[in-house]
Amino acid sequence: MSPGEVAITWTLDVPLKVNCFMWRAYLDRIPTECVLFKSGIQVAFPTCTYCEAEDEDVAHVLLHCPMEAKVREWVFQWCDIPIYQFYNLEELVKFVAQWGTCPKKKKKLNQHFFIEPYGIFVRKDATGFSRNLGLHLPKSLIW
């Protein structure tokens, strides 16, 4: 690894699919609307499913979308941590890896900052899928 690079920490505190998701997100390899469009897949709306204000790329979905920012703000408040705005996924990964000394609190924060983006993306993906195809998915299929 080159100096300045950040390794994704694989943690046993979250399911394997969440670790894989964060690794793929870090590599910019999750199927956002922008990635699908660049791959030649026709999408009806390249904007974010939640805010519909910006193009949907990894940074927007996981860090900058107002909905994601609000959920992260609640996690910060719940953990009694000053609110911090991340500008890229590398900053988020570094923050989680370096925060705190209490193993129990560190484990919980790690779980929140890995599972929360995964859950929001999965929910967004199901909502965006139905929006792009004009379908209405049953709520039982949307996690």
pTM of the model: 0.73
Per-residue pLDDT for 19 more than 80? yes
Q: Tell whether the model's pLDDT for residue 134 goes beyond 50.
A: no
pLDDT grade, residue 117 (50/70/90)?
Answer: confident
pLDDT mean over 54-65: 87
Which of 106, 104, 109, 93 lies closest to 10, judged by CA? 93
Reported as a pLDDT band with limits 50, 70 and 90, residue 135 is very low
pLDDT tens sequence across 76-97: 888 888 888 888 888 888 888 7
Q: What is the pLDDT of residue 39?
A: 82
pLDDT at 28 over 50: yes
CA gap 97, 100 in Å, rounded = 9
> Any idea where the domains of the chain sit in the sequence?
60-141
